[in-house]
């Protein structure tokens, strides 16, 4: 995977940030079910950001599937497909205007985001834009190369709660050939892979990377937003945010609502009630060091966290598999098989 040249990135950032930090684009990212939606809607509720709740998976889906947009034929396929997506419908823009601008000037994934979000921002009279995509965490080098002034906010949540929530939604199958196991441990390893990837890339661009803990955002919102606002140079007034309450601030997307309609989005330490002692000891044996690195204390003793041969093999194989899978998708024709279903496409227009 592409690494970031820290000195080059810093130089490019300084050169391209003439408008000041308070107008630079923001990428909200983190492992799924970590509170990315909550954080993104918190930013939008603060005012000053363009309000957009669409999906712009240019790096995750469109470029791998159709090829790099610097090629005109690839670019046309990307644009035509995006204009059929629910993400485009939510822009509120005219297809003809956006299509012509993308076809004329889009040479990279960064250009695609700048053009689409720039048009939305201008139309709304907003000061800057932010995009929400949990998977941006594994695309930081490409985003930073294309948009040197990008700022990244990485939200991290206790991996035990994330694994529990993801399991409620089906979990992650460790390998394509394993159709029966969608285990808690495999899901926890996915969390660890996402968190460590984001931290590794963030360490290369420290002045443009900021970590927020979900638990702090929930328990200490004012102080957490003050620190984040300082990083973004944006007024994140808590009272104004609570007054606006856009998106997930007023409508929960908790994975446990089917069990308990009163289950809030802001649950913390749900794993203590719902995981067995054996699940906790196995999970902490697998991802304990990452939990501790993120500031989450373990609840089991070293003797309880004995790692079996099976767990050792799983812990070694799964991150390597995820790295290889991502590399193949981004750098080989394997990416052509990227699933477009997440775009929620409408039928193509009829041609006479």
Q: Which two tokens stand for residue 121?
A: 């921002």
Residue 39 located in a structural domain: no
Beta carbons of 187 and 172 less than 8 angstroms apart: yes
CB under 8 Å to 33, separation ≥6 — which residues?
157, 161, 162, 165, 166, 169, 255
Residue 197 located in a structural domain: no
Number of folded domains that form the chain: 1
Neighbours of 273 (CB within 10 A): 8
Q: Measure the CA–CA gap between 251 and 298, rounded to whole angstroms.
A: 32
Beta carbons of 279 and 184 less than 8 angstroms apart: yes
Residue 211 located in a structural domain: no
Residue 108 located in a structural domain: yes
Domain assignment of residue 112, given as a range: 60-126
pLDDT tens string 223-275: 999 999 999 999 999 999 999 888 777 765 444 334 444 445 568 899 999 99
Q: Measure the CA–CA gap between 233 and 213, rounded to whole angstroms.
A: 19
Q: Measure the CA–CA gap between 184 and 74, rounded to whole angstroms.
A: 39
Does the global pTM surpass 0.85? yes
Residue 83 located in a structural domain: yes
Give DSSP secondary structure letters for 208-246. GEEEEEHHHHHHSHHHHHHHHHHHHT----HHHHHHH--
pLDDT tens string 184-197: 888 999 999 999 99
């Amino acid at each position: 995977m592409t690494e970031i040249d820290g000195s080059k990135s810093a130089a490019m950032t300084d050169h391209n940030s003439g408008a000041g930090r308070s107008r630079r684009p923001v990428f909200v990212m983190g492992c799924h079910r970590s509170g990315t939606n909550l954080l993104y809607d918190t930013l939008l509720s603060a005012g000053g950001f363009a309000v957009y709740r669409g999906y712009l998976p240019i790096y995750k889906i469109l470029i791998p599937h159709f090829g790099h947009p610097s090629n005109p034929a690839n670019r046309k396929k990307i644009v035509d497909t995006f204009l059929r997506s629910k993400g485009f419908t939510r822009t509120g823009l005219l297809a003809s205007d956006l299509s012509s601008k993308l076809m004329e000037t889009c040479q990279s994934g960064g250009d695609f985001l700048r053009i689409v979000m720039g048009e939305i921002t201008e139309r709304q009279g907003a000061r800057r834009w932010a995009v929400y995509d949990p998977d941006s965490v594994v695309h930081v080098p490409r985003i930073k190369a294309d948009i040197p002034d990008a700022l990244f906010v990485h939200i991290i949540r206790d991996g035990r709660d994330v694994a529990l929530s993801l399991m409620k939604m089906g979990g992650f199958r460790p390998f394509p050939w394993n159709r029966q196991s969608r285990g808690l441990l495999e899901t926890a390893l996915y969390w660890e892979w996402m968190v460590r990837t984001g931290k590794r890339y963030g360490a290369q661009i420290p002045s443009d990377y900021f970590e927020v803990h979900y638990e702090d955002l929930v328990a200490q919102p004012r102080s957490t937003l003050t620190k984040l606002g300082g990083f973004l140079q944006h007024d994140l007034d808590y009272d104004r945010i609570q007054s606006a309450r856009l998106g997930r601030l007023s409508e929960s997307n908790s994975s446990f609502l089917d069990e308990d309609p009163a289950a809030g989005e802001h649950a913390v330490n749900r794993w203590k009630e719902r995981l067995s002692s054996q699940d906790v000891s196995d999970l902490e044996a697998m991802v304990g060091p990452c939990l501790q690195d993120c500031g989450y204390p373990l609840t089991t003793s070293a003797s309880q966290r004995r790692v079996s041969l099976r767990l050792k093999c799983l812990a070694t194989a799964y991150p390597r598999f995820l790295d290889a899978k991502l590399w193949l998708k981004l750098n080989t024709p394997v990416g052509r098989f990227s699933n477009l279903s997440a775009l929620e496409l409408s039928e193509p227009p009829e041609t006479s």
